[in-house]
Amino acid sequence: MYIRGKKGVVVDVHGVISNPRDHRGLYPPLYTVAFDVAELFGEARRDKLWVDVHEEWLEKA
């Protein structure tokens, strides 16, 4: 996925969300991580990308 190996800032913590309609079982806690579009896609843009990611994909920076 496009954020692999990139650094971002956690801006929201959603915790564990029960969503039995979508998937069986509970997923790990969900976080919103903010990235600069410029850093991810290499252009000089001021825009941000806030990506919701489950904990198992995250590593402490």
| Binding residues vs other proteins (CB under 8 A) | 1-2, 14, 17, 19-24, 27, 30, 32, 37, 40-41, 43, 45-54
Whole-angstrom CA distances from 25 to 21, 22, 30, 53 are 10, 10, 14, 17
- The pair phi, psi for residue 53, each rounded to 5°, is -135, 140
Minimum Å gap between C-beta 57 and other proteins is 11
Minimum Å gap between C-beta 36 and other proteins is 10
Minimum Å gap between C-beta 61 and other proteins is 19
